Amino acid sequence: MTSQTTIDTTGPGGDASAGTPGARPAKGLRGHPWFTLITVAVGVMMVALDGTIVAIANPAIGSDLGASLSELQWITNAYFLALAVSLITAGKLGDRFGHRQTFLIGVVGFAAASGAIGLSDSIELVVTFRVFQGLFGALLMPAALGLLRATFPAEKLNMAIGIWGMVIGASTAGGPILGGVLVEHVNWQSVFFINVPVGVLALVLGVMILLDHRAENAPRSFDIPGIVLLSGAMFCLVWALIKAPEWGWGDGRTWAFIVASLALFAVFAFWETRVKEPLIPLALFRSVALSAGVVLMVLMAIAFLGGLFFVTFYLQNVHGMTPVEAGLHLLPLTGMMIVASPIAGAMITKLGPRAPLAGGMAFTALAMYGMSTLDTGTGGGVMSLWFALLGLGLAPVMVGATEVIVGNAPLELSGVAGGLQQAAMQIGGSLGTAVLGAVMASKVDNDLPGNWTDAGLPPLAPDQLGQASEAVQVGVAPVPKGTPEQIAAKITEVAHDTFISGMSLASLVACGVAVVAVFVAFLAKRGENAEAGGGAVHI
């Protein structure tokens, strides 16, 4: 497929684009590449923070609104489900109507939904507005990448994506720290209200700075059946991953949704070959590099987000840290991502993506192996070493895989490519949490009865053992009230040792996933279409 890609500069501002090599540089604020980066970074920061900051507020929300555990889980699940299902369609909206418009709508909607949550007086309203947060966040994220893709010249795109990845990494890791401070010293509503001034800032900057870049051959119609089929397939897949820990992987309901998802994906793929302007032109995946980038994002998210899921329980429930203390112990991870992401962008520009991507996944594998050696007595220095190594590994992967996906798609599909990148990360994170959670549950269920008996503790009835196992899977010692101190100490030791064995196995599985990703990285190559600079694009 060959297409001529040009920039329409008749949007707001009217200045020529600086989005391709040789284009006349933007004058003033409007369309300036680095000011554009600052603007989209403010909006992206708001969404990335919300991915982790809310978890800290859940206990306070539950206490204030009288919510059950399952209702609190929906505060996270509703947001994630809406985000994951909508990302690719939202990217297509940006390609059709312009990324500037979709970014600004996403910013306004996300901030408004955040304010509405802070004013909510029931858990049902909180969950409802979390869905709206996810939908508007889906508009914002691919549009940000589309704006960077169109604004930066090819030789500086990697550096821009490096800083973009740095903002996401820092915001994601900094969420628990900021959330802990706000909940502890203000209230849970402040966790959501903080998005309002950030959203206003992003809106003001966006109106002043962002220039609407549109490809001449951007899509003019909507593939409604394709949107319905893809949304249904994504919903069934994500729903199965969310519910698998509750239902069990052997449950018929879990597999019914997985089979339905696969069937809908197959029908979607067939339909996309028949429609004139498909939602996702399947010719995109003829690019081995782009396909490798999507797979890398999934594998990276499985290893990183799935493995890190248990680290928070390890720090808080085994080491007894507060959420703020746990966040501070993760600062080596955050700090290394902040430092390494721009450096990774520069390295990828100079060397190409293969070596940095393969090296990054190798460091990630080594870090996950190191985390499998953590135990109840591990000190902060050793933890910091492995966390820092993980940040060092993740930075080039986040930057490189994003550039490989977005840079190997034609400009008129940059929004779809951004949606693919984000959807791959969301699905990978959900898959990692579900699969590694199943590994943890299986290991705990297998080891706990023997460890309990070996410690000379009173035998448990089957239902008591099941409840104890669920507690141990998150590092909590199932000590009943009124238990003598000596018995309580034994139960705590057994619970923590059993949790550590499960976390160790889950970390080794994550390490194996990262090793597989090392080999996938060698299929990546520099974004052909970014280099083409808006000329002929071959997929």
- Which residues, at least 6 apart from 432, have a Cβ–Cβ distance to it below 8 Å? 301, 302, 303, 304, 305, 306, 307, 309, 510, 513
Q: Is pLDDT above 50 for 517?
A: yes
Please report the pLDDT score of residue 536 as a whole number.
32
- Per-range mean pLDDT, top range of 481-485, 489-493, 521-525: 489-493
Overall average pLDDT of the 338-355 stretch: 83
Q: Is 206 exposed, middle or buried (0-12, 13-18, 19+ CB in 10 A)?
A: buried
Q: Which two tokens stand for residue 464?
A: 């008591």
More confident call, 12 vs 290: 290
- Per-domain boundaries in the chain: 28-222, 224-276, 286-530
One fold for 28-222 and 286-530: yes
Query: Tell me, what's the pLDDT at 499?
Result: 92
Name the token pair of 488. 């309580």
Q: What is the pLDDT of residues 358-373, one digit of tens each?
A: 999 999 999 999 999 9
Query: Which neighbouring-strand residues pair with 215?
Result: 7
Has residue 283 got a pLDDT over 70?
yes
Which CATH number fits the domain 286-530, given the four candidates 1.10.3720.10, 1.20.1250.20, 3.40.1160.10, 3.20.20.70?
1.20.1250.20
Assess whether pLDDT exceeds 60 at residue 537: no
Mean pLDDT, to the nearest integer, of 152-165? Answer: 77
Per-residue tokens: 6: 């040009």
Confidence of residue 218 (pLDDT cuts 50, 70, 90): low
Average pLDDT, the chain: 81
pTM: predicted TM-score of the whole model, two decimal places = 0.78
**Residue 305, CB half-sphere, CA atoms under 13 Å: how many?**
23
- pLDDT band (50, 70, 90) for residue 185: confident
| Residue predicted with more confidence, 19 or 384 | 384
State how far the Cα of 330 lies from the Cα of 339, in Å rounded to an integer: 15
Q: Does residue 529 contact residue 4 with C-beta atoms inside 8 Å?
A: no
Taking Cα atoms as reference points, which of 125, 124, 109 lies closest to residue 50?
A: 109
pLDDT digits (tens, 9 = 90+) for 407-431: 777 777 777 778 888 788 878 877 8
Q: Which of 304-308, 483-487, 509-513 has the highest mean pLDDT?
A: 509-513
* pLDDT bracket for residue 201 (50, 70, 90): very high
Rounded average pLDDT over 122-144: 89
Amino acid found at 478: P
Here the tokens at position 516 are: 């597989």
Q: Which residues contact 486 (CB under 8 A, 6 or more apart)?
A: none
Helices (H), 66-122: 69-97, 99-118
- Interval 22-58: pLDDT, tens: 344 455 677 788 888 889 888 888 888 877 777 777 7
What is the topology classification, in CATH, of domain 28-222?
A: Growth Hormone; Chain: A; (1.20.1250)
The pair phi, psi for residue 5, each rounded to 5°, is -110, 120
